[in-house]
Structures are given as structure tokens and as C-alpha cells.
Amino acid sequence: MVEWAQRGKTASDRGDRLLGWSDGTLGRRNFEEALTRYSPGTLDNLPQVTVGFLPGDGPEQHYIAIAVHDWATGELRDADRRRIAVTNCFCAPYAELARAAVSYQDMLAACQRTDLPVPGRKPARVGLAAPLWRPAADDELARQVAALLLTGRPVCVLDANAESAQRRLGFIDAVMSLLPYGMRSRMSAATWTSSTYRGHKFRLFFSDAPRTTEEPDQLVFWGQPARTPLRDAPDCVRDYLRWLEYQIRQPVPDLAAQTDKAGFTAAEVLRLLVRNGVASRSRQDVAPDEHETELPGPVPPAPRRPAPGIADLVSGCADRIASADLAGLRSGIAAIEKCLSRNGSPSPELRARCRAVIAARGLLDQQPGPHQQLAAPLHSVLLRLAFEVPLSYAGYCQLEDCLRDGATPHRALLAEISRLGLADVRARAIVRWQLGSPELSQWYRCADFDVRQLLRELAGDWPREQHARIVCDVVLRYIRQRRGHRAPDGIAAALHACGYLAPALQQHHPRDTQFQADVLTELLRAAYPHGLGRPAVSRVLAGSGQQPTFALLTAVLGRLEDAADAELAWQEYRRGAIACSGLDDDTRRRVQALLTEPW
């Protein structure tokens, strides 16, 4: 059961008051205190959402509160002719929410299906259910905010004016998914607050300007994690942030399962760090909370801080880039080089861990700044640390996974990849194509270029179809450059062995028959520069042992030596299709007979 209250005005009121509340465990005084404590100030842009908690002695007496601040329906006006805003507040037992790790968004969606006031002032029957846990958010700013909250100081998010309240609430959920679920029992947050209201008690809030307080809030900027001031952050922030970066590529259900009520005091944060194996020097890393009392009981000793591992050094390089600390970045690169020299080739597990850090911190993305003068040594050490070099096609796919928003490697990174070497023909074709025409033309003249091998690769499986299209373009560019010269030895045989690539093209581009036909026309021109005679027509359409496609028939018709052979091409297309249809012998013969009889 969810208890509720409604705060606002009537047409005769000049000030807000409690309009109604449920007749349950919580009373009028509880709701008035909660709505006053978690007030966001006077807001012009509605709706907005606030979340908070109502403490109790037992688990069933502790409540999570979520309030929706919106305009009254019908644009009602109060006694002073001002538009009336209404706050609908819902309070659910923390224990009930914790059993299913219900998010703020899920709680809000469930509660908003209830119209207030409920007749008879009864508590609302609301189904609060959600998956036992959700994957942690892969959001660099959310990770930073989660770590900053451990200091006990409020965090203010700026520059999010254009985002909806729903989007901001989703971000608050993302942040809290990166902390033990039990910390929601002491969490307060708002999707918007008035920057002139200095006395609010929110730990995490959005606003259009910093508020003026005796101890400044920690400021972060929407969509700009590089601006977050982490250089002088306490060790607990750095340690927890690194831990999150290592964990983020795998779901972290244990955080959702940690439902014991916990707050943000120094003792409670230290318990969090110890429980999850996060190193911290001492409890002085965390500032005590002025609004809460530390939980009683002995505090576990902080573990000894280990020497930084190589993955820590990678994360440290990202910190140095963010703070434009070139000397520190240079030292970090040298330290990683020393580790590689001393320890040899990293294990697959360590490589995967380092790739996770590289992806989370965007270390291989193109980022303008003074650190670009160290881009080559940084790329070199990261590639040798996180990937097998020379880079194979599988390694290249791993590298693309480390880039944000589906980006492709920028030119400086491609140059370093090329310098370190490429292990197979797929990787060589993709990287040289991305480097541009001069690199491709040079490769075409190299001894390691073999168009027949590329054709065989194109006939194989491709986990990413855009890569197959790139390699196809590499082949076509080569063929066009060779136009007017003798066809490469063995190209006709290589095409014949893979069904002239017709099945592969249809598999990779099923909705683009024109593209298939254009590619096949180019390939047939290279294999049969003078056109296709009758024996060649039969060989291409019915002699490869692979299913001819309509695109292949179209290409053959466009390359006939004699247009009168079009009927033969049609007959051979049908014969090849029937032969490779998978039908049994009797069915094949019956179909063939029917097609050859005059109708």
C-alpha cells in the first residue's frame, strides 16, 4: 500500500496548504514536514519530480517519498490570480521497494496511475514491481556523480535546461544504480530547483545556476564529464570511480542486492568501500554529513592501499587529460611502458579490463586539447596494452567497441594502428580504406595484396556488415584501377569458387538488389573483360554449385557478348536455381520438365 498527500491551493486560497492525505500510518504532520523539507522552491517550468525519505524506527516504518509538482488541470487561478500548482506526494515502505529494487521511475509510473485524492482517504493499492536488478548505467557523468556523492556534499547538475523532467529522473536513477540500493533510504534528489532557494536539502539536484551557500555544492555539467573537477577529489571518489569503471562492462547486481539501509556519513561510506573491496586510505577521505548521525558500532579498518596496477595507470592518464596535466600524462605513459617492459604480454583478462577503462574514459576517442602532442605515444602504449598487436580483424572490432557513439577510429589512431602492424587481410583492408585513397593505391602495389584472398574473405561470415561493404569497395577500387590492363591471374577462378559472391552479397545486403547487381557487374567485367560468351554464361549461372541470384542474372545480362544469348541466360539461371534448391532428385526433374515444356 502507498500512502499519499496532495498539496496546493483552491481558488479562494492565497498560500499553499495540504488539501488531502491518506488515513494510514503517516499523518498530516509527517506529510507537511516531508513536503517542506523536500521543497524545490518556486518553479516556473513544470512538471518536476522530487524524491526523499521519511525515517522510521523499523523497516516497515521507513518510507521513500516521490512527489510530482505540476500545474492544476484547467489552468486554475488562486485568489491573487496566479496559476495554481499542485504537488502529489506518494510514500511507499522502503522494505517493499527494496525487495524488488524498484527504481524511482518505476515507482513514479506505478503511482501516477492513481488519481488523487483517493475516495475515503484510503492508502492507494499500487503494484510496485521491477526486475531484481538492472544493469548499471554506462554513463561517465553518472559514474562521476555517484562517486562525488560519497563525500557527503550535494551535487548540482548544470546546463540541463533543455532536458525533460523524465530524462533528469532517469539520470538520477542511473546514478543511484551505481551505489548500493540501501543508500536510497537516505537519498534526496530533484529534477529541478530554484537557484535562488538556498535552503533546500537535496543531495543531487538540477538547476540553472549554482546556489550561494557557505560550503559550495559540487558542480557538474550535463553532457560534459570532462569538466568535472576530479583532480583534487578525495581518494574515496577516485577509488570508487576506478572501481566502477572496471565493473561497468559487466552487470553489477550485487549493488542492487545491498538493500540494508545506509546513508552518506563517513562511517557508512567507509563500510561501503570495504564491503565492495574498494581501497581507501582512511575515513578522513569522506566528509561527515551535517544532517545525519553516524550509525553506531565499530568501524572496520580501512585496507592498506595497494600500489596502483596497470589499469589504475590507464585511468590516471584519463584524469591527466581531463585536467590538462601534460607532465602527469607523460609520467603515466612512461609508467605503463615500464609495466609492459617488466611484465611482458598482458593476460587476456587484464587486456579486457584495460579495454573497459579505455572505453569508459574515451581514451581512444578524438579529443581536442593540449594532450594531442602526446597522442602518438599514448595510442601506442594503449594499443599494445589492451589489444594483441599486430592487430587482427577481431582486435579491430574490439577497438571499435572502445569508441563512443559508434565512431570509427580517427586518423591519428589509424596511423598508429598501421605502424604497429595488421595481422590479417581483413584488418589491412579496413584500416587502409579508412586512411584514404593514397594508402590504398600504395597497398595495391605491395606484395601482400591479393585480390583473390579478399574475394574469398568476402564470401565468408562477417559479424559487422559495414566492414564487408568496406572490403567490397577495396576490391572494386582495385578493379577500376586495373581497367584496361590484363585481368589479375586467377580472378575468374576465385570468383567461380565463391559463386561470384552472389550468395554473400544477398546475405549482407538483402534489401539492396541494385547494389548487388552493380558489384557483380564490376566483378564480371574484371573476370571477363570482353564479355560473356555462351560457355561463360552457363559457367557463371549454373556451374558454380551455388545458388544464382536475380542480381547475378541481371549482371550477366548486362555483360553478354551477344544480346541474343539472353534466352540462354534465363534458361541457365533456372537450371542453376533448381540444381541448388535442395529439392530431391524426383522433384527437381519434375520442376525442370514443367519449366521446359511450352505453356
pLDDT digit string, tens, across residues 505-514: 998 888 899 9
Long-range interactions of 270-274: CB distance < 8 A, separation 24+: 270/299, 270/300, 270/302, 271/299, 271/300, 272/150, 272/179, 272/180, 272/183, 273/236, 273/239, 273/240, 273/302, 274/300, 274/302, 274/303
Contact assessment for residue 516 and residue 505, using Cβ atoms and an 8 Å cutoff: yes
- pLDDT higher than threshold 70 for residue 240: yes
Find where cell 599514448 sits.
378
The pLDDT value given to residue 130 = 55
> Which one-letter DSSP state was computed for residue 2?
B
Q: What percent of the chain has pLDDT over 90?
A: 47
- The phi and psi torsions of 137 (rounded to 5 degrees) equal -70, 130
The pLDDT value given to residue 291 = 40
> What cell numbers appear for 251 in the block?
552487470
pLDDT level of residue 137 (50, 70, 90 thresholds): low
The pLDDT value given to residue 302 = 38
The pLDDT value given to residue 377 = 94
Euclidean distance between CA atoms 348 and 346, whole angstroms: 7
The pLDDT value given to residue 131 = 52
* 114: three-class secondary structure by DSSP: coil
The pLDDT value given to residue 483 = 75
CA 23 → CA 1, 6, 372, 471, distances in Å? 12, 13, 64, 70
> What cell numbers appear for 216 in the block?
559550495
CB atoms within 10 A of CB 406: 8
Rounded to the nearest 5 percent, the helix, strand and coil shares of the chain are 50, 10, 40
Contact assessment for residue 316 and residue 308, using Cβ atoms and an 8 Å cutoff: yes
DSSP string of 187-213, one letter each residue: --EES---TT-TT---SEEE-SS----
The pLDDT value given to residue 133 = 41
| Residue 552 zone, left/alpha/beta (φ > 0; ψ -120 to 50; rest) | alpha
Euclidean distance between CA atoms 333 and 377, whole angstroms: 7
For the residues 15-26, what does the mean pLDDT come to? 87
> Which one-letter DSSP state was computed for residue 186?
G
- pLDDT higher than threshold 70 for residue 33: yes
For the residues 73-99, what does the mean pLDDT come to? 85
For the residues 24-33, what does the mean pLDDT come to? 87
Count Cα neighbours of 126 within 13 Å in the Cβ-side half-sphere: 28
- pLDDT higher than threshold 70 for residue 56: no
For the residues 359-374, what does the mean pLDDT come to? 86
> What cell numbers appear for 276 in the block?
565492495
Q: Which residue has the higher pLDDT, 231 or 225?
A: 225
pTM of the shown model: 0.50
The pLDDT value given to residue 286 = 47
Contact assessment for residue 27 and residue 20, using Cβ atoms and an 8 Å cutoff: no
- pLDDT higher than threshold 90 for residue 204: yes
Euclidean distance between CA atoms 45 and 50, whole angstroms: 14
> What cell numbers appear for 155 in the block?
551535487
> What cell numbers appear for 228 in the block?
568535472
For the residues 515-534, what does the mean pLDDT come to? 93
The pLDDT value given to residue 248 = 52
The pLDDT value given to residue 57 = 55
Strand 155-158 versus strand 204-206 pairing type: parallel
Least confident of 247-261, 406-420, 516-530: 247-261
Q: What percent of the chain has pLDDT over 70?
A: 89
- pLDDT higher than threshold 50 for residue 289: no
Count Cα neighbours of 371 within 13 Å in the Cβ-side half-sphere: 27
The pLDDT value given to residue 281 = 40
The chain-wide mean pLDDT, for the chain, equals 85
The pLDDT value given to residue 548 = 95
